[in-house]
Structure 1
Amino acid sequence: MSKIFTIAEGLQNLGALKTGGQGSVYKGMRMGPVYSAIKLIPTPIYVEDESDKNYRNFLNEVNKLQQVNTHPSPNVVKILSSGITDSGAFPYIEMEYIEGPELSELLLPPHQKVFTVKELLKVAEQLAAALAHCHQFGVKHGDVKSNNVKYNTQTANYVLLDFGLAIMSEEQRRTSIRHAGAVEFMAPEQHEGKMLLETDIYSYGIILYELLAGQVPFPLEGGGDTARNTVMISHLEKEIPGAMLLRKSNLENTFQEDILNSEMQVPHWLIELIGRCLQKNPADRYANGMELQKAITAGLLSVPQGIARTENTMPNEALRYAALYGETQQKNEELEKELATLKPLALKAGIKYNTSTGEYHHENYIHAPRKTFLAYAAACTLVVAFVVYSLAKTENNNVITSPVTPYQSPFEIANQQYRQALQTAREDSIRKTRWAQQVKASEKARKQKGKKRKKFLGIF
């Protein structure tokens, strides 16, 4: 394949991968069989000097991208190099070449029109991690869409690609959006040339909506300016259509009824998260990728797997688990307060924590004589054996299902241990007192018996 133009020394141009208003992506090859993807920015730089605004913007963005590369993320494409082309004076960013299909290709035949719930949650988690990794260094992507997310066939991860839009000026971004941008994924403020961290959050929500419903909220019908303007106005003014009805229609006549019902069980928190990402006002969305990632993590841990909703309300099972979760949280708080009260009492009573066994015990146990202990143990064994025999005899061969042991939180277990230890301390104190009384009484009786014996012997 002949070269279109030279990128840089040692970096061979193997032809365009795709071209758009935000720039073109070329397949490149370095010295030897090392393939890469080159993002070419359509903003020529004639003077490589700080006085050139375009050059300053380019250096600032490259510096941020280098910070992103300092601690690589498996969900963000690695930046290999950057510079100015030898011919044309265009800034470029060289990225690693990811082998695998784009996210949009996975929605086309022979694949299904929608993603499974399991795979949808995987994309949501990994793409949120990618945005969080970029946003913590102040890097705004600006062109998050299903065409810029690839499934890496070597690592089985979803990877965010194609950085560099932030280098363009607001006027250039407005022009590129007007003529060649993917308007289906663009936030309302992007139509004014603005690009915020919240802009990436909106585009993220569009991707999840597309994977959930099988299409974007406002599809582009035709490539003319009228069709593009219609989509822009829809993002600015119209409400987002319900995704679950679209999902159901795309799933019908494809799966059996049991699989269809299972795939309609989309977690309630995920639907609400997508709705917040797609708010018209940037202030109503998640502020950045870090906040979005926290919401994803909280959602994945909030309810047991499989608890979901299919319509506008949660099913009874989900409500039951949600109520149980709330009760458990409240009970843990009450137990924690009670533990704060019991701890000083336990320490005062001589109860200490054994780090090797993980249990609480009393320091001053009273040890009974060996014969007394054995007699007591034998008596307890006989009583237990008699009770078991009685229960077995009265049973009418009915199978009795033993109740499931209820879950006990760490606060509850510690509370029980404190109470048991305090009860043991009280019982030990009572036994100690009684034992002392018995010893005292025995000593008194022995002395009295000795006096009587001396008196009796004195008669003779």
Structure 2
Amino acid sequence: MSKVFTIAEGLENLGALRTGGQGSVYKGKRTGTIYSAVKLIPTPIHTESGDDKNYRNFQNEVAKLQKVNEIPNPNIVKILSWGVTESGSFPYIEMEYIDGPDLNELLAPPHEKIFSLKELLKVADQLACALAHCHKVGVKHGDIKSNNVKYNIHTGNYVLLDFGLAIMSEEQRRSSIRHAGAVEFMAPEQHEGKMLLQTDIYSYGVIVYELLTGEVPFPLTGEGDSGRNAVMLGHMEAEVPDAIRARKLNLPEDWPEAKMRQEMQVPAWLINLINKCLQKKPEDRFADGPELHDAIVTGSLSATAGTVGTGIAGVSKANIDVLKTENKRLQQQILELQTALSAETIEYEASQMPDNESKITVSKLGFNALVALLVLFIGFSVYAAFYKKDARLPKTITQDSLKTPTDTPAQTPVEQQTDLPANDAYERKRIRDSIKHVTDSIRQAVIDSTTNAERDKVQVDTPQP
């Protein structure tokens, strides 16, 4: 058996994990200074046995907290141990120490009064992830506020701390809230000592509202009970102030104008989410952490896909108003440009027209129609002229015409017609030939006038009077 040696002072060797030609890997145990955070519960436990009701409740709630750490979550503080203090017999829970500022410190100088949208969405997502993890195992935090969420400077994550209120009884919670609770973050039902899954949702909404606007919806303005009562009344009855207006008022004055415009493009889905979290009735909020986190994921995806928000998922109302204004401005510019071009065109055509003449434009279809009417008119005139000539020719007297009406039987109307002289057939043929010649000549003229495919219209010049 090989000898187990000490690697260095404070670093214990627990045995080899694997060996190879380039070296060996050992399992070590750090025995140096380790920092932790210890939460003391203000209710003493008389005996550490099942006969003590407070001790039983404490054990039950600690068992729930241990479930939270069965599956590690980067946004939840680790529970290291729990027990009862040797002096005073106070129950305690030992938690991982998170090195870094809390949200309350990040909102105070020298930091900006509000969070950037990018960092705000990061906090909203990670804190909702922590609540979803807790609620899945049945743990209600009960004390979510700005100084219970810390930024871990080593990992870059936001971590939910202090599960002390989660292991208190309802009576202990009511007493703690009445005297020392952060009333600005409390849901309306908490003032009656109730703690629901939706209670954590309400406090979450207060935090996100605070990061967005730089202040909580109902700030505490006095130190006494009157100030606390006014805040409680606000949570129970008053309408939540407009978050967009509050953010605009608290924009840092030293920000460039472009950054101010960018930071005011708040996604509509985020405003809707905050409003739902801050509903007075618990049943009107998100049911629990998983439903809250799903809403954030859905909202983020819709914004990435280009759907808004107030009608286009992820696009704010300010974005839509700007686009509408710009669209109207562009349409007005196009209309003015079209009007100017039309005026210039009319002026140019007028300048190109000779002073002593004007032109009448006739379409090809209209010209062909006029020619056709002219052909019909000429043909009719020629026919009428020859017909009148035939009517004036002398009638031929035959022997049958000398007969009296009584000498011949009644004749039909056709037989009563006057016979033409023998040269009538020749005259008729000549008339037809003349009409045909005129018609053919006009038809050829029409064909010649329409065979030119490059001319779409015919201009007929008329002298000015």
Distance 1:83 1:314, change over 3 A: farther
Residues 131-175 of structure 1 show CA distances to partners (whole Å, capped at 9, x for unaligned) of: 001111101100000100000000000000000212222222222
Instruction: Count residues with an aligned counterpart.
Output: 289
Cα deviation, residue 217, structure 1: 0.3
Q: After the TM superposition, which residues 12-161 of structure 1 pair with which residues of structure 2 at under 5 Å, given as runs?
A: 32-161=32-161
Partners of 2:46 and 2:31 in 1: how far apart? 28
Distance 1:79 1:200, change over 3 A: same
**Do the aligned partners of residues 143 and 125 (structure 1) sit closer, same or farther apart at CA in structure 2, a change above 3 Å counting?**
same
1:184 aligns with 2:184: yes
Contact 2:268 2:317 in 1 (8 A): no
| TM superposition shift of 1:51 | 2.7
The DSSP-based 3-state class of the residue aligned with 1:38 is strand
Deviations 1:206-236 (A, max 9, x none): 0000000100001011221110111011101
Please give the alpha-carbon distance, in whole angstroms, between the structure 1 residues aligned to 2:173 and 2:257.
47
Map 1:235-250 → 2, pairs under 5 A: 235-250=235-250
Amino acid at match of 1:63: A
Following superposition, the deviation at residue 315 of structure 1 comes to 4.5
- Could you list the per-position Cα deviations for residues 407-429 of structure 1 after superposition, in whole angstroms to 9, with x for gaps in the alignment? xxxxxxxxxxxxxxxxxxxxxxx
Larger radius of gyration: 2
CA distance in 1, matches of 2:78, 2:242: 36
Displacement of 1:303 in angstroms is 2.2
Q: How much has 1:179 moved relative to structure 2?
A: 1.4
Mapping 1:237-276, distance limit 5 Å: 237-251=237-251, 253-276=253-276
Instruction: Work out the CA distance in 2 between the residues paired with 1:305 and 1:234.
Output: 38
Q: Is the 8 A contact 1:187 1:199 kept in 2?
A: yes
What does 1:385-396 align with in structure 2 at a 5 Å threshold? none
CA contact (8 A) 2:265 2:318 kept: no
Alpha-carbon deviations, 1:426-455, whole Å to 9, x = none?
A: xxxxxxxxxxxxxxxxxxxxxxxxxxxxxx
TM superposition shift of 1:316: 7.1
1:286 and 1:53 mapped to 2: Cα distance?
A: 33
1:282 partnered with 2:282: yes
The residue that corresponds to 2:428 in the other structure is: none
Tell me what 2:193 maps to.
193
Q: CA deviation at 1:313?
A: 8.6
| Pairwise CA RMSD | 1.9
With structure 2 as the length reference, what TM-score do the two structures score? 0.60
Runs of 4+ in 1 over 4 A off after TM superposition: 305-318
Write the mapping of 1:204-223 to structure 2, written as runs, cut at 5 A. 204-223=204-223
Residue 227 of structure 1 aligns with which residue? 227
Q: Secondary structure at the match of 1:301?
A: helix
Contact 2:184 2:216 in 1 (8 A): yes
CA contact (8 A) 2:198 2:287 kept: yes
The 2-side partners of 1:265 and 1:313 are apart by: 7
Farther off after superposition, 144-153 or 49-58: 49-58
| SS of equivalent to 1:246 | helix
Contact preservation (8 Å) 2:235, 2:280: yes
The separation in 2 between residues aligned to 1:167 and 1:286, in whole angstroms, is: 23
Structure 1 distance, partners of 2:223, 2:77, is 30
Q: Does residue 1:169 correspond to 2:169, yes or no?
A: yes
Residues 360-379 of structure 1 correspond to what in structure 2 (within 5 A)?
none
- 1:239 shift after superposition: 0.7
Counterpart-to-counterpart distance in 2, 1:109 and 1:179:
28
Moved more, 268-277 or 253-262: 253-262
The 3 A distance-change label for structure 1 pair 178 and 201 is: same
Q: Indicate the residue corresponding to 2:442 in structure 1.
A: none
Take 2:319 and 2:259, find their aligned partners in 1: how far apart are those partners? Answer: 21
CA distance 1:305–1:55, change in 2 (3 Å): same
Describe how 1:322-361 pairs up with structure 2 within 5 A: none
Q: Is the 8 A contact 1:99 1:152 kept in 2?
A: yes
Query: Does the 8 Å contact 2:75/2:160 carry over to 1?
Result: yes
**Per the alignment, in what secondary structure is the counterpart of residue 94 of structure 1?**
strand
2-structure distance, mates of 1:156, 1:172? 35
Q: Distance in 2 between matches of 1:232 and 1:194?
A: 14
Q: Judge conservation of contact 1:115–1:211 (CA < 8 Å) in 2.
A: yes
TM-score, normalised relative to structure 1: 0.61
Aligned equivalents of 2:223, 2:273: Cα separation in 1? 31
Can you give the 5+ residue segments of structure 1 that lack an aligned partner in the other structure? 1-29, 319-460
